[in-house]
Amino acid sequence: MLQYFIRRLLFAVPTFFGCTIIVFFIVNLAPGGPYEQQVQALKAGSGFGIGSESSAASKDGAATIPPTALAELKRYYGFDKPVYVRYLIWLGLWPRETDSYNVKLGEPRNVGQGQYLIVEKTANGTYSIIDKDSKQSVNGVWTAENSVLDSTGITQLRVFKTEYAGILTGHFGNSYEYREPVIDLIASRIPISLQFGVIGLVLSYVICVYLGIQKALRHGSTFDLISSSSILISYSIPGWALGLLLLVLLGGGSFFDVFPLGGLQSREYETLTLGEKILDRAHHFVLPVIASTIQSFATLTLLMKNSLLENLSQDYIRTAFAKGLKEKRIIWLHAMRNSVIPIAANIGHIIGIAFVGSFFIETTFNIEGIGKLSYYAILSRDYTVVFAFTVIGVMVNLFGAIISDFVLAMIDPRIRFR
Amino acid sequence: MSQINQKSGSQSIGQRRWKKFKTIKRGYYSLILLSIMYGLSFLLPILVNDKALIVRYNGQYSFPAFTSLVASFPLIDQFVSVFQSGESLGQKGNPGQARYRDLQQQYEQENGDNFIVMPLYPYGPIEDITTDGNTAFMEPWTASDGEGPRIMGTDENGRDVFARMAYGFKVSISFALILVFLEYLIGIPIGGLLGFKSGWYDLIGQRIIEMWATLPILFLIIIVVSFIQPSFILLVLLLALTAWIPITTYIRAEFYREKSKDYVAAAISIGVPTWKIMFKHILPNSLVPIITNFPFAVVAGITSLVALDFLGFGLPPPTPSWGQMLSSGLQNLTKWWLVFSPMFALFVTLIMIVFIGEAIREAFDPKTFSRLR
């Protein structure tokens, strides 16, 4: 058993690399990436100080952007290297260049924090880098490189530091769009999606388990038939579409003004007392929580119902009845314990809910959660964010399944994985 | 033993399942209704259209709606032109596409031999503000001068919401059916192979599938769409890239179980080739999960098309689609009919399919619960 899970974990490693390679290569080789978008923006004459020139010049765009600037830009996004090197850098298995400065031979160059560097050519053609103040060689820390620019053939000397920083060292990089570390960006959005996920999850489990039990106990009754129909109806509706309908009905647009149109809190949220704050949150949460949980209702309830029904038809229940045990005791103590197993096994996927979010729900209700962040990262080609979400998604998938199986094996001694 | 065989042997298992399916009323009627509606949806160009069924002008007859019916089928549309200029039918100052509703009024006023018969619901799904008489945001059941009422009003471009809803039905169902067909086409052989070969094949194959499943489909679609005009087939293909993966899970499990049975061992021992064992012997015995999954796969297909259209990365703009209608509803929340109409269509369609799916599942389920109470 332990062997089985160790094997599963070991298999997760190559799978993880395979997954990230696929996504990384597709995303990187896709045309219209951040570098090209930036060049487009520059050509359009924004942000490079060429807007003042005549419009004829900016029409002939490429000529107005100095090739050195293009090369800088390319280097900034890391596109000056082949894609497999970029992948290794992203992983943290290849040195990442940081603090790159253009230098001229023999001239001191300010590299920040009051440090000045002088680059000189040695007899055998390599470069020596010397700290101007201490007169000591800093070749170990800094690297000098003569790079030839693509189109013009102009060579440019620059110094840079290197470090191994990638996802394996916990370095996810900075978002191109928001100019802040991806980790911070995601961390700031998780609480929002988490609140939803957890509230929705707890609610749906409580309701579904209870409903499932009632349906199993009254199998075939009118209550069972009616609730089955309504569950099927709820199952067939995409949650976000229902959310849209609820917004029109109850959001005050055309019919009733019961719930707010979206967002997480009212404008005057900060001025409210704690009790009012909770009420305000709850008020904003009602519709999105309904929309995000409605579809899991059907599967959960029917799972619960069928599993309880199946257990109730087992011989050990027959025996318990024959022994003269009380019905309540049989159902709640004997049948229930076996019936919750398939439901409890879902636990691995629960973890995913908090991290994945649903950008449909978040778009519909205008909530700045994690789903919306990942969606807009794709739209704006914010690659570092896209990759971070890929990693999260892959991890959730891989480990969610393993954890589910593990929990299943823990709570059900009959289950043996080999 | 022989008595039991006589009793149940008079019907094949398929017949028995069909009989059980028919006893589940809501599923059975949903199947009938949905089939009829889908069949009728192919006749939409002569039922709901802004083109006339019959035009008689100066002794000459033409049938523009039937032309557009012919043109509504893929491939043939290359060879058929639905264009008929207004001037050629006596609509002065209109060298563009003839406006048949106006012409109908015109002919009636002229009181001559010319006449026009319009379809049952004389509005098309893509005629917009640029056509006279169409205004944006008409409320349901209102009409412009001398025209019939618009059952569900018009959208922000003056297009008829009911017509778009009806045409959207055909698009959605067709899309989902083709998508599911492709899913099965890819998923069944791969899942079957994994289950039949098992061992290392299975282990490695499943890892590869796991990796393939992370393919960022939405990202791919967004990028492809920004370069090529998205088409129906392109979207189906892109979605099919990963949509087949769940199918392999079902099929793999079935094949895994079936292959240890005696008839497979017998087939192997007399030297039947592997592919023949897989498709001729095992597959017919492994169809239950595929059939019971079918309606739910269709639901998933419809939902993903709606979602893509909702985000604006679906079918190209004038194509009538529910997702596009929903997103224009989100932008105009006060115009309630914009959300209600596609939502109604979506709900009804999906619910019917789910009913069918539930009935099929029940019909295929040999379990009947007996319990003490």
Q: What is the DSSP string of B68-100?
A: HHHHTSTTGGGT-----BSGGGT-TT--SB--H
Residue that is written with structure tokens 């105009």 in the block: B332
Using CA coordinates, name the residue in chain A closest to B208. A15
Strand order in the sheet with B115-117: B60-62, B54-57, B115-117
CB count within 10 Å of CB A195 equals 17
* B111 and B211 inside one domain: no
* B176 and B59 inside one domain: no
Contact state of A232 with B354 under an 8 Å Cβ cutoff: yes
Does residue B216 belong to the interface with chain A, where contact is any CB pair within 8 Å?
A: yes
Cβ-in-10-Å burial (0-12, 13-18, 19+) of A66 comes to middle
pLDDT digits 0-9 by tens, B239-280: 999 899 989 988 988 888 888 889 999 999 999 998 999 989
d(CA B90, CA B60): 12
Token pair in block for residue B154: 């018009």
* B331 and B196 inside one domain: yes
Among B64, B91, B118, which residue terminates a domain? Answer: B118
d(CA B162, CA B172): 15
Specify if B32 maps to a domain. Answer: no
Q: What is the structure's pLDDT at A45? A: 63
Q: What is the structure's pLDDT at B306? A: 92
Provide the shortest C-alpha distance from residue A141 to chain B (in Å). 38
Q: What is the structure's pLDDT at A58? A: 42
Contact state of A18 with B371 under an 8 Å Cβ cutoff: no
Specify if B204 maps to a domain. Answer: yes
What is the separation, in whole angstroms, between the first and last Cα of chain A?
Answer: 6
Among B98, B118, B138, which residue terminates a domain? Answer: B118
Reported ipTM: 0.77
Amino acid at A123: A
B185, B245 contact by CB (below 8 A): no
From the list B212, B355, B371, which residue is nearest A313 (CB)? Answer: B371
Provide the shortest C-alpha distance from residue A120 to chain B (in Å). 46
Please give the residue that has the higher pLDDT: either A114 or A95: A95
Q: What is the structure's pLDDT at B146? A: 67
Taking alpha carbons only, the member of A325, A304, A328 closest to residue A316 is A325
Q: What is the pTM of this model?
A: 0.84
Strand order in the sheet with A116-121: A109-110, A116-121, A127-131
B 261-300 near A (Cβ less than 8 A): 299
d(CA B329, CA A243): 12
As for how many domains chain B has, the answer is 2
CA distances, A268 to each of A272, A286, B212, B244, B278 (Å): 7, 19, 47, 49, 66
Least-confidence region, from A135-144, A231-240, A353-362, B15-24: A353-362
- Please report the DSSP string for B231-290 in residue order: -HHHHHHHHHHHHTHHHHHHHHHHHHHHTTSHHHHHHHHTT--HHHIIIIIIGGGGHHHH
Q: Which helix (H) or strand (E) holds A52?
A: none
* B264 and B340 inside one domain: yes
- The pLDDT of A154-168, averaged and rounded, is 78
d(CA A219, CA A210): 14
Taking alpha carbons only, the member of B362, B367, B346, B369 closest to residue B28 is B362
Write phi, then psi, for A120 (nearest 5 degrees). -130, 150
Domain range for B259: 163-364
By three-state DSSP, how is residue B320 classified?
A: coil
Partners of B73 in the beta sheet? none
A309 vs B contacts (CB less than 8 Å): 369, 371
* B167 and B109 inside one domain: no
Token pair in block for residue A42: 């520059």
CB count within 10 Å of CB B107 equals 20
Partners of A159 in the beta sheet? A101, A144
Specify if B31 maps to a domain. Answer: no
Per-residue pLDDT band at A271 (split at 50, 70, 90):
confident
B192, B182 contact by CB (below 8 A): no
CA distances, B154 to each of A83, B229, B338 (Å): 50, 26, 8
Specify if B191 maps to a domain. Answer: yes
pLDDT digits 0-9 by tens, A325-346: 898 888 888 888 888 888 877 6
A234, A297 contact by CB (below 8 A): yes
d(CA B180, CA B240): 8
Q: What is the structure's pLDDT at B58? A: 85
Contacts for A202 with CB less than 8 Å, ≥ 6 apart: none
Amino acid at A152: T
Extended strands (E) in A164-260:
none
- Residue A106 pLDDT exceeds 90: no
B303 vs A contacts (CB less than 8 Å): 238
Taking alpha carbons only, the member of B299, B320, B300 closest to residue B309 is B320
Per-residue pLDDT band at A196 (split at 50, 70, 90):
confident
Please give the residue that has the higher pLDDT: either A303 or A125: A303
Taking alpha carbons only, the member of B101, B98, B77, B76 closest to residue B89 is B98
Specify if B338 maps to a domain. Answer: yes
Does residue B358 belong to the interface with chain A, where contact is any CB pair within 8 Å?
A: yes
Specify if B199 maps to a domain. Answer: yes
* B91 and B193 inside one domain: no
Contact state of A309 with B222 under an 8 Å Cβ cutoff: no
Q: Could you tell me if residue B24 is left (phi over 0), alpha (psi between -120 and 50 degrees) or otherwise beta?
A: beta
CA distances, B186 to each of B192, B251, B348 (Å): 10, 11, 30
B66, B46 contact by CB (below 8 A): yes
Least-confidence region, from A86-100, A117-131, A287-301: A117-131
* B187 and B330 inside one domain: yes
For chain B, list residues with pLDDT below 50: 1-6, 8, 370-373
d(CA A323, CA A177): 69
Residue that is written with structure tokens 């269709």 in the block: B298
* B216 and B101 inside one domain: no
Q: What is the structure's pLDDT at A55? A: 42
Q: What is the structure's pLDDT at A116? A: 80
Please give the residue that has the higher pLDDT: either A10 or A343: A10
Looking at residue B39, the DSSP 8-state letter turns out to be: H
Q: What is the structure's pLDDT at A375? A: 87
A119, A128 contact by CB (below 8 A): yes
Specify if B20 maps to a domain. Answer: no
* B167 and B292 inside one domain: yes
Specify if B19 maps to a domain. Answer: no
Amino acid at A80: D
From the list B333, B351, B358, which residue is nearest A251 (CB)? Answer: B333
Q: What is the structure's pLDDT at A151? A: 58
Q: Could you tell me if residue B297 is left (phi over 0), alpha (psi between -120 and 50 degrees) or otherwise beta?
A: alpha
B156, B127 contact by CB (below 8 A): no
A233 vs B contacts (CB less than 8 Å): 347, 351, 354
Token pair in block for residue B96: 């563009």
Highest mean pLDDT among A58-62, A137-141, B197-201, B319-323: B319-323
Q: What is the structure's pLDDT at B77? A: 74
- Please report the DSSP string for B121-149 in residue order: B---SS--TTSTT--TTPPTTB--TTS--
By three-state DSSP, how is residue B152 classified?
A: coil
B 5-34 near A (Cβ less than 8 A): 26
d(CA B100, CA B52): 6
Residue that is written with structure tokens 């094997």 in the block: A7
What CATH number is given to the structural domain containing B183?
A: 1.10.3720.10
Amino acid at B152: M
Looking at residue A330, the DSSP 8-state letter turns out to be: I
B300, A209 contact by CB (below 8 A): no
Among B100, B118, B136, which residue terminates a domain? Answer: B118
Write phi, then psi, for B139 (nearest 5 degrees). -75, 155
Partners of B57 in the beta sheet? B60
Per-residue pLDDT band at A53 (split at 50, 70, 90):
very low
A405, A8 contact by CB (below 8 A): yes
* B205 and B75 inside one domain: no
Q: Which helix (H) or strand (E) holds B190?
A: helix B161-197
Partners of A145 in the beta sheet? A158
* B99 and B176 inside one domain: no
A378 vs B contacts (CB less than 8 Å): 216, 218-219, 222
Token pair in block for residue A171: 């370095």
Q: What is the structure's pLDDT at A352? A: 65
Q: What is the structure's pLDDT at B373? A: 44
* B235 and B174 inside one domain: yes
